[in-house]
Structure 1
Amino acid sequence: MRAYHRQEGPVAAANCAGHLQTIARPVAAMTATYPNESTSTRHLHRRDQFILQITGVTAMMTERGHFVVPPGHGLWIPAGVVHQSRAWGEVEAQTIYVTPNRERKASDTCRLIRASSLVEALMDEAVRIPEIYDQNGRDGTLIEFLLTEIARMPEVTLHVQVPPDPRLGEICKAVLVDPSSNLTLDHWADKCGLSRRTLTRLFRRETGQSFSGWRQRVRLLEALARLGAGETVTGVALDVGYDSPSAFAAMFKRELGAAPRHYLRWTDQEVALR
């Protein structure tokens, strides 16, 4: 039985993560659980990190954008990227820490993926192998196969970009704190001392989206986190700024291709190779 198989709570997980950065193998792994609404401190790692969500939803703020990680999804965070997590619902996640390797050509950007059943099965094995595993044996082969599969998974877009421009950054932070706010672009233009046209152009240049499109994405992410924590569709729809559950459901299906509850249940329909 490995010494660091399962960590209970953010403090134990953080202590274990620090230890795993020093393991003399290319990959070190752990399973951790986090109580509802628990948060980590802002931190970074010396190794690349891949987090696979098992239960609950994790909201992850990074210096390169804000992500929501539902069950059946995984988030790749490159070494040195500052990030902070918040748990929605009782969260269980499996994590690997990967020594950066130029030959492996791992992504140098944050990537959110929808994990295949194969990736889920390989992660389940990775958290069970010894810390000092045999790199030339079965465990080493399994780890290399896992990294190959993670790299080939298609990226999904359940995130919003936080622009580096400090004026836009303040607007984005305010929306992230209160996604239900209906303050207009004219309001923010006045607050920033810019014309509406200039602010519109800046926002699209920095984020690739209009302000309204960016805010809708924030509301979608907030809704995913709350739905994953077990809140009702009606309550979530009203809390994130929609006038009715039907309007919210229409937006959700348009963006993600499924009704709110069906989307979060979809991963349970796959048969894991375990």
Structure 2
Amino acid sequence: MTMDVSKLTKLSPIEIGYIVNPALPVIPFAMEVHRAGCAAPHAHPRGQLIFASRGVMRVICSRDIWVVPPSQAVWVPPEVEHEVYFPGDASLRNLFIDQSVSRVLPNECKVLKVSPLLRELILESVKVGDTYESDSAGYRLMMVIIDELRSMEPTDLRLPMGQDERLQRAMDFLLSNPGDKRAIDELAIIAGASSRTLARLFVRETGLTFGTWRKRLILQEAVKRLGKGHSVTSVAFDLGYGSLSAFIDMFRHALGSPPGQYVQAARQTL
């Protein structure tokens, strides 16, 4: 999960995010990126749907981490600080949404499942750009996008982080060693706390049990490695799974499709 961001191309905040204009409820943005990331955490008046139709993103928002495949998108509300990193090649198809309409969307960062309909709507919106006028076909398309976003189903790819130093030591170790299988009592020695205290810290500061948090970490790491071209078998066993079928079942349950289908989707471009 760790990433040397110093080796990534630095991207300045996208100026579209700072345009305040209710007459343009949605402004689409398309960009091809290669091993790049934000120059610094930033926020802007427009909400942002961060979507890579090809490639994997790592998004940090409000101390939470997401590793996001092409079947998912991250919603960032207006004025919420965030960072985005692309460890490989990615095709961005983002939507910047004016506050006049974004109030009907979640008020916190969420990962949303991108339906086939939304993918097509995003494709069409990129063609329209920001040249549409009120009550035009382009304007009506953008409002359909807002309606579709309201019905999107959230996913469990969020990996919440903690602030307690003991919890951070445990998390940092697991982030650097996502395939490590040691139990919580062994991890507690690294954290400098009893296993009972560490278990309470996970629930209190993340809302997840230790076991659930580690499963989400493994899922994020699997998404990242599959996006880099690693085989399903190598990813499964490197991340501590004793059987390939158990890994596939976990992946399908979390993302709605087996890892083989995910790999195919990751190579497609809108």
After TM superposition, the score normalised by the length of structure 1 is 0.81
Q: After superposition, where does 1:3-152 map in structure 2 within 5 Å? A: 14=12, 17-22=14-19, 24=21, 25-35=24-34, 37-46=35-44, 47-101=46-100, 104-152=103-151
The one-letter code matched in structure 1 to 2:93 is Q
Distance (Å, rounded) in 2 between the aligned partners of 1:153 and 1:134: 26
Q: How many Å apart are 1:177 and its aligned residue?
A: 2.9
The one-letter code matched in structure 1 to 2:39 is T
Distance (Å, rounded) in 1 between the aligned partners of 2:236 and 2:226: 10
Distance (Å, rounded) in 1 between the aligned partners of 2:150 and 2:171: 30
Is the CA contact 2:170–2:188 (under 8 Å) kept in the aligned structure 1? no
Q: Is residue 2:212 matched to residue 1:213?
A: yes
The one-letter code matched in structure 2 to 1:38 is A
Cα deviation code 1:121-174 (max 9, x no counterpart): 221122222424312322221111111111111112122222343432342233
Q: How many Å apart are 1:189 and its aligned residue?
A: 2.5
Distance (Å, rounded) in 1 between the aligned partners of 2:246 and 2:118: 35
Q: How many Å apart are 1:266 and its aligned residue?
A: 6.6
Which 5+ residue runs of structure 1 have no aligned equivalent?
Answer: 1-8
Identity %, equivalent residues: 30
After TM superposition, the score normalised by the length of structure 2 is 0.82
Q: Number of aligned residue pairs: give it.
A: 260
The one-letter code matched in structure 1 to 2:40 is R
- The more displaced of 169-178 and 196-205 is 169-178
Is the CA contact 1:42–1:82 (under 8 Å) kept in the aligned structure 2? no
Q: What's the counterpart of residue 247 of structure 2?
A: 248
Is the CA contact 1:64–1:110 (under 8 Å) kept in the aligned structure 2? no
Distance (Å, rounded) in 1 between the aligned partners of 2:143 and 2:9: 28
Distance (Å, rounded) in 1 between the aligned partners of 2:36 and 2:204: 35
User: Secondary structure of the residue that 2:86 maps to in structure 1?
Assistant: strand
Q: What's the counterpart of residue 182 of structure 1?
A: 181
Q: What's the counterpart of residue 5 of structure 1?
A: none
The one-letter code matched in structure 2 to 1:108 is N
Q: After superposition, where does 1:157-236 map in structure 2 within 5 Å? A: 157-236=156-235
Which 5+ residue runs of structure 2 have no aligned equivalent?
Answer: 1-7
Q: Which runs of 4+ in 1 moved over 6 A?
A: 266-269
Distance (Å, rounded) in 1 between the aligned partners of 2:188 and 2:163: 17
Q: Quickly say closer, same or farther: Cα 1:146–1:102, change in 2 above 3 A.
A: closer
Is the CA contact 1:44–1:79 (under 8 Å) kept in the aligned structure 2? no
Q: How many Å apart are 1:243 and its aligned residue?
A: 4.6
The one-letter code matched in structure 1 to 2:36 is S
User: Secondary structure of the residue that 1:81 maps to in structure 2?
Assistant: coil
Distance (Å, rounded) in 1 between the aligned partners of 2:225 and 2:79: 29
* Coordinate RMSD, CA, aligned: 3.0
User: Secondary structure of the residue that 1:68 maps to in structure 2?
Assistant: strand
Is the CA contact 1:32–1:92 (under 8 Å) kept in the aligned structure 2? yes
Distance (Å, rounded) in 1 between the aligned partners of 2:49 and 2:75: 4
- The more displaced of 135-144 and 238-247 is 238-247
Q: What's the counterpart of residue 5 of structure 2?
A: none
Is the CA contact 1:71–1:264 (under 8 Å) kept in the aligned structure 2? no
Is the CA contact 2:64–2:158 (under 8 Å) kept in the aligned structure 1? yes
